[in-house]
Structure 1
């Protein structure tokens, strides 16, 4: 084989693999959920970086009132008591910012 043929063969092998190296994998779980998104498996366990004030503010922004008694459990979920539409509820917020009540 001559030099030109070897170079052509090498280029045919290397060039397609360069495109594969540029592909970015998608994340399975976002770090923080946006207010218009819902996670059906919430609350999600994980290391929570929200402060107590941040958790309370997000709960209030979600429409809860009289939010009190916030505690962070060992699974990274904030728990609080509050009201929604005048009815008492228990509120949970995970490390992604997913808020659930019941």
Structure 2
């Protein structure tokens, strides 16, 4: 979900780790304020996002 994201890169990474993701790479905030990265979950490489509310979504 787009919005004014106040999370730092470290906070976004912590959110992903708390949701069970590891090997987080390429963590970047897009022009809509959504953090995007690749990560591993249950042995699979996936694309993930963290929105301005802290919601973690697997894409």
Gaps of 5+ in 2: none
Residue matched to 2:48: 91
The structure with the largest helix share of the pair is 1
In the alignment, structure 1 residue 57 sits paired with structure 2 residue 5: no
RMSD: 0.6
Larger radius of gyration: 1
| Structure 1, unpaired ranges of 5+ | 1-43
Q: Which runs of 4+ in 1 moved over 3 A?
A: none
Taking CA–CA contacts closer than 8 Å with sequence separation of 6 or more, which of the two structures ends up with the larger relative contact order? 2
* Aligned residues between the structures: 59
Quick check: which one's strand share is greater?
2
- With the length of structure 2 as denominator, give the TM-score of the two structures: 0.96
